[in-house]
Structure 1
Amino acid sequence: MSEGPLYPPPGAPTPEEPAAGPPAQPAHPAYPAPGTTPPPAGWAPYPGAAGGPRPGLALGAAHKPGAFALRPLGLGDMYDGAFRIIRFNPKATVGAAVLVTAAAMVLPLLVTAVLSFTVGLALDESGEIETSASTSEVLAFLAAYGSLLLSLVLAQIGITLVTGMIVHVTRAAAVGRRLSLGEAWAATRGNRWRLIGLVTFLYVAFVVVLVVYVLLWVLVVALADGPWPVVVWGLVSVPAYLALTCWMWVRVYYLAVPALMIESAGVFGAIGRGWVLTRRAFWRTFGIALLTVVIANVAGSMLGFPFSLVGQLATVFTPEYALLALVLTQAVVSVVQNAFTAPFTGAVASMQYLDLRMRKEAYDVELLREAGIISE
């Protein structure tokens, strides 16, 4: 694999693709040279990141050797940096998201296509299974929808791994390096299963909280003598539950993935790092994270709307293949939405992690040193 070109300084034109050159060093920790200070634990330079000051770097751009400035970041800095990261690392961001989502969606497409042309799956005018369907047709419908549900789970696992790759892409972009798809994937080696375990554990934690809340609702409704206790309970508990969920999202979940991937802190260590970094920074972190999710979902919906509309029209004009058209539409919409939402939200979350470390731990000094802007 070849080393990617440096990020251009602000205002510079887009660099052209580099010519083939000598292979870069693999993305794993290198031994320090004799007489040098070894890097801190959990830190590893990216290919070509070290080696002294970069030639041609203007003094005015010294604080921004990569996609974003190495100083405390504002909202505009994060969004600008996220789009620059996606623009200069398309294969390791958009390409990775498209690849894993499309691979996951192959299963329901194949299952539904086979069943549509063999069993003859068909929907009635209301979009439901025909009431006269035989047992084999009902089982075929269950198989089609079950494969679609399984594909969504597999796509979510793939997007989780892509998010881990985007963390490394963002970390490399901070010092002016571009990671290829292979380099970004190699950088996650050793943390992939821990990343899946971390996300699974956090999802289970949210589900447990939801189940407890639902059981409390059942208990209140069963013990209430009239409607007013239920109304009061709803007015009090619904805002409290939403507040608890938002608090857990920011303090426990949001920065755990970047901490795990960059610091190799382990599952509970990553959760602890996110807890420490968001201390006294809850509202700022929550505001940026919430706005980012809203923007990503709105943009994803707008991107997927034309394909959904085409799918709805296809069900009208080809009712005998309506289910196949719906599954195909869902697959295309998922690919298109993940192609934007996963890289954008992953890059912004990674920059929030780096921003909090720069604010609280002077991490910008380490990044500037790695970029060759300052010496030891």
Structure 2
Amino acid sequence: MNDSPGWATPGSSPSDGERPETPGEQPQPPTQPADAPKWSAEQPPPGQWQSPAPGQDPPPAQQGGGWGGHPPQPPRYGGQYGYPGGPGQWGQPPAAKPGVIPLRPLGLGEILDGAVATMRAHWRSVLPITLVVATVVQVLTLLAQKFLMENLALSSDRGPVTPSELLGNLGGNLPVNAAVQLLDLAGGIIVTAMLTMIFSRAVLGQHSSVSEAWRDARPQLLRLIGLTLLLILGSVLLGVVLIVPVAFTGNPGLIALAVLLCLGLFTWLWIKFSLASSALMLERGTVLKSLARSSKLVSRAWWRILGITLLTAIITVIFAMIIILPLQMIGFTVFGEGLSAMRDPLAQTAWGPLILTSIGGIIAQAVVLPIQSGVTVLLYVDQRIRREGLDLELARAAGVENYGG
């Protein structure tokens, strides 16, 4: 692994299989390590094994020679993660933590805490990226909603809406909504690319400036765009293949079944390839290799990654709504005709509600995007630690001494 945030693609992981035996090779009996404890030939009589009281020196017979005449042992480095633990200690010694996470398999709380800790410790790099991207996206979205959707909105004061008016309104809104989604997608790609580099350095305890993050992310940016578009195209084709043919039958039961099947497959593929962006940016491979890496890392951990991803999405959506809804309500109350105007599509295109809603969106995205990106990167790191022993590579890159010796 390099000391830079880009991590080299690993070889076969320990879980890929054990070392095959050579034909004709005889299994070797286990040998005793050279540093194994040597028991003293002179043992104390029965009933005289004692441990010194707290604060009391060992008996003279044991001084300099270890307990019960044992030779003194040097500090032992071992355990599951290779960190020192003295004799008589219970439990796993604490893992090294050069950066925002300990170098061992992570729990849910440690993944979320690592994402938040990176925002706090590296806010000078994280906030400028998210604020600039969120501001550009929200301003363009505001202009699109104001000037493109104002003529398409149907006011509730006009009376009943005819089906033709409704279809025309939906057809006119479709390009606007597609443009807004593309803006969000483009902003999300840039933020994901740059924040991935910042989080990868934060794991090693290293700081990264905005210029350094852009320099590291730029070579892979086009591939990240291609990966994102490929995933979107695959999702659209999945819906077309499963739902459109059944829709022509007019059978509500078959249509509902097709929709459920489509949602299930979409969720399975979404989680299966959820780590592809991190693999693409940090291993600097191709689009297809990143998809294969994500599929391998997610295998046998699909439900766990699904739960963490859904929980993160719920937390971020609730946080965004807490910020956006009050500002939106203030906009309708101060600049509109009260909260009842929230049901009027035409009132939603007024300047006051749009501006306050956009301000809330900027604040929410500045916090939500780093958390989402951070959880994805840390899930990728966690899976590689569990499957491939990446903690050894990270410790070496972070300069941790005597790791796993």
**Do Structure 1 and Structure 2 share a fold, with TM-score over 0.5?**
yes
Q: 1:210 to 1:110 in 2, by over 3 A?
A: closer
Give the counterpart of 2:229 among 192, 196, 200.
200
Q: 1:258 to 1:28 in 2, by over 3 A?
A: closer
Question: Contact 2:5/2:200 (CA < 8 Å) preserved in 1?
Answer: no
Q: Normalising to structure 2: TM-score of the pair?
A: 0.66
Question: Contact 1:122/1:323 (CA < 8 Å) preserved in 2?
Answer: no
Alignment of 1:1-376 (within 5 A): 40=8, 63-107=96-140, 109=142, 126=156, 150-221=179-250, 230-231=252-253, 233-234=254-255, 236-252=257-273, 254-313=274-333, 314-316=335-337, 322-374=349-401
Residue deviations 1:291-310, cap 9 Å, x none? 11111111111121111112
What is the DSSP-based 3-state SS (H/G/I as helix, E as strand, rest coil) of the residue aligned with 1:70?
coil
Counterpart Cα distance in 2 of 1:295 and 1:320? 30
Q: 1:266 to 1:127 in 2, by over 3 A?
A: farther
Residue deviations 1:250-287, cap 9 Å, x none? 112x1010000000111111111100101111111111
Task: Compute the displacement of 1:247 (Å).
Answer: 0.5
Counterpart Cα distance in 2 of 1:188 and 1:150? 25
* Partner amino acid, structure 1, of 2:187: G
Matching residue of 2:52: none
Counterpart Cα distance in 2 of 1:360 and 1:373? 21
Q: 1:176 to 1:316 in 2, by over 3 A?
A: same
Task: Compute the displacement of 1:367 (Å).
Answer: 0.2
Question: Contact 1:148/1:327 (CA < 8 Å) preserved in 2?
Answer: no
What are structure 1's unaligned runs of at least 5 residues?
Answer: 1-25, 30-38, 43-57, 132-137, 225-229
Task: Compute the displacement of 1:150 (Å).
Answer: 3.1
* Partner amino acid, structure 1, of 2:279: A
Select the structure of larger CA radius of gyration: 2
Deviates more, 1:177-186 or 1:235-244: 235-244
Question: Contact 1:121/1:321 (CA < 8 Å) preserved in 2?
Answer: no
Q: Normalising to structure 1: TM-score of the pair?
A: 0.70
Output the aligned Cα RMSD: 3.6
Deviates more, 1:311-320 or 1:243-252: 311-320
Question: Contact 1:251/1:275 (CA < 8 Å) preserved in 2?
Answer: yes
Question: Contact 1:170/1:347 (CA < 8 Å) preserved in 2?
Answer: yes
Q: 1:108 to 1:237 in 2, by over 3 A?
A: closer
Counterpart Cα distance in 1 of 2:382 and 2:369? 20
Task: Compute the displacement of 1:207 (Å).
Answer: 1.3
Q: 1:157 to 1:279 in 2, by over 3 A?
A: same
Counterpart Cα distance in 1 of 2:347 and 2:304? 52
Counterpart Cα distance in 2 of 1:259 and 1:128? 53
Residue deviations 1:61-113, cap 9 Å, x none? 76111001110000011011111011112233333122112113333556777
Question: Contact 1:258/1:350 (CA < 8 Å) preserved in 2?
Answer: yes
Identity within the alignment, %: 27
Counterpart Cα distance in 2 of 1:124 and 1:208? 32
Q: 1:332 to 1:126 in 2, by over 3 A?
A: farther
* Partner amino acid, structure 1, of 2:394: L
Q: 1:152 to 1:331 in 2, by over 3 A?
A: farther
Question: Contact 1:123/1:323 (CA < 8 Å) preserved in 2?
Answer: no
How many residues in Structure 1 have an aligned counterpart in Structure 2? 304
Counterpart Cα distance in 2 of 1:186 and 1:339? 21
Task: Compute the displacement of 1:202 (Å).
Answer: 0.4
Counterpart Cα distance in 1 of 2:259 and 2:179? 31
What is the DSSP-based 3-state SS (H/G/I as helix, E as strand, rest coil) of the residue aligned with 1:191?
helix
Residue deviations 1:287-346, cap 9 Å, x none? 111111111111111121111112222232799995323432442233122112211111
Question: Contact 2:8/2:282 (CA < 8 Å) preserved in 1?
Answer: no
Matching residue of 2:32: none
Task: Compute the displacement of 1:177 (Å).
Answer: 1.0
Counterpart Cα distance in 2 of 1:321 and 1:82? 35
Question: Contact 1:251/1:282 (CA < 8 Å) preserved in 2?
Answer: yes
Counterpart Cα distance in 2 of 1:354 and 1:239? 32
Question: Contact 2:224/2:287 (CA < 8 Å) preserved in 1?
Answer: yes
Q: 1:321 to 1:157 in 2, by over 3 A?
A: closer
What are structure 2's unaligned runs of at least 5 residues?
Answer: 11-82, 85-92, 162-167
